Amino acid sequence: MAEKRPYLTAHNDVLTGGIVLAATILFVSTGGSAISDVIKSLAGMGAGVEQLLTTALLLNVALILFGYRRYRDLKIEVRHRAAAEERAQQLAGTDPLTGFYNRRKFEEEGAALIARMQIKGKAVALMMLDLDHFKTVNDIHGHAAGDTMLKAVAERITAHVPPETISARLGGDEFACACAFEPGEPGEMESVADALVNAIMEPVTHQNGELSVSTSLGIARSDRDGDTMDTLLRRADIAMYAAKNAGRNRHFWFSGTMEDELFRRNAVEAGMRQGIAAGEFVPYYEQQVDLNTGKLLGFEMLARWESPALGLVAPDDFIPIAEETGMIGSLSFAVMRRAFTDARDWDPSLTLSVNISPSQLRDPWLSQKLLKLLTETGFPPSRLEIEITETSLYDNLGLAQTIIASLKNQGIRVALDDFGTGYSSLAHLRALPFDRIKIDRSFVTSMMGNAESAAIVQAITRLGDSLGLPVTAEGIESKDIEQRLLSLGLAKGQGWHFGKPMTVEAARSLLAAHKMLAAEEEALPLPDDAGTAKTAAPGR
């Protein structure tokens, strides 16, 4: 029905106009001959007019009055309708919570601003803001608190940007601003960005408490990074994520290297999705030795990507992407399956250490999945040691306790990795039944030239002794470090001093040479590129 209203209004206007016009013509034709007689009759000076003419005259007057009233009503209706349409257009382009433009309206107004500034010889800076940890506010305090925070952020943006700025809430906790500035004076936009970052960081009062977030902000400029809103939005978004990846609560200007890095990252992600299914991710093995005797105790499994397009890719380049995209679980289990198959016929005294990522430790079915994999590959649980970093325990300590208890019930040992880098190491040692502590490599590699690192290594060693927990030192890269650790009483270590991480072929060659394969094999020569020229094996 709503779609027919314009037609009905126009029809009513025509009908009303026709009535008024017909009444006017009729009035002129009848009134010209009868009105003088009517006036004389009313004044008592004549015999009056015929009844028919009198009726026609009065009908004319009534029709004219009706038409005028209808015309006035239609004008009021048109005015109300125009106001309603204007209000609807305003709502269609505005975010109802903050009063800022929405994305569609922002793109329209921003494009017009760019065109105006090009004529004036000015540039437009497009700032993209994303709130850091906003989801935590909603999760802990509720969506009403989140709305309070979003409105407060909008007010602070308005207070700290130039008067002619176009501001928008693009959705969720993402905002954008477009400001004109002199191309040769970008410092003005630097000051605005700094002010926004500092202002948004201030706590927001809500009920009886305070809410806190920070913001990551990216800036793109129309005179250098693109002169269309689509391009500027995309490149400001790239700069914003660069700020987020650099630690959050800061701002970055867009640069071409950021876009290059994004293209590379997308290529890596696409390659990873194909590579996991194609079996391109393989285990490498780093030796773990007894520092007193030189005996090989086991290996730590490290993932490597043998990419046909990119070559051998180190974990620092693909593990963060796997974490972000949710591929870490499938990647980790694919590599573990190969490692368990590789190691099942090694000497029974050799252990295999495997790292578990923080996201995997949030999976309540982790222990069941591991047990299933061990059963399928025939690898003994007693030879497996799972390494968990301190940072992975922060999100849900209760779930971590359940998973660790389940792993230990299956005979799997659990080590606390990167010890000393977290904020609550002692609390974790008390709350969780670990079998081993691993000192973070950053302390070990620097202990010869840094007194603080040496003191930390010594303190962790003594702590392990007092708690009855074996301690492993990572990052042993020289004989001097090895001797220093021995003097502290450390019994187990690993690092490039004993050989770089090696392929399964190199590991089997090493084990065969020292008769540590369950099925005896003829020793194969050690490849030069396996990092084992300096073999730290039993009896070295």
List residues with catalytic annotation.
474
- Give the separation between CA 389 and CA 353, rounded to whole angstroms: 13
What string of DSSP letters covers 47-60?
----HHHHHHHHHH
Longest Cα–Cα distance in the chain: 147
The residue type found at 90 is Q
- Give the separation between CA 326 and CA 330, rounded to whole angstroms: 8
**Is residue 137 within 8 Å of residue 209, measured between CB atoms?**
no
Q: What does DSSP assign to residue 207?
A: T
Kindly give, in sequence order, each residue whose CB lies less than 8 Å from that of residue 255, ignoring residues fewer than 6 positions away.
239
Beta bridge partners of 313: 305
Q: What does DSSP assign to residue 522?
A: P
- Give the separation between CA 486 and CA 477, rounded to whole angstroms: 14
Helices and strands in the chain: count of H runs, count of E runs = 17, 16
Give CA torsion, residues 316, 318, 321, 325, to 10 deg.
-140
Buried b (16+ CB within 10 A) or exposed e, 449-479: eeeebbebbbebbebbeeeebbbbbbbbeee
- Give the separation between CA 423 and CA 268, rounded to whole angstroms: 33
- Give the separation between CA 504 and CA 508, rounded to whole angstroms: 6
Q: Residue 153 corresponds to which tokens in the numbers above?
A: 């952020």
Q: What does DSSP assign to residue 515?
A: T
**Is residue 407 within 8 Å of residue 414, measured between CB atoms?**
yes
Q: Which three-class secondary structure state does DSSP give residue 292?
A: coil
User: In angstroms, what CA-CA distances link 289 with 65, 170, 191, 469, 478?
Assistant: 108, 56, 55, 17, 14
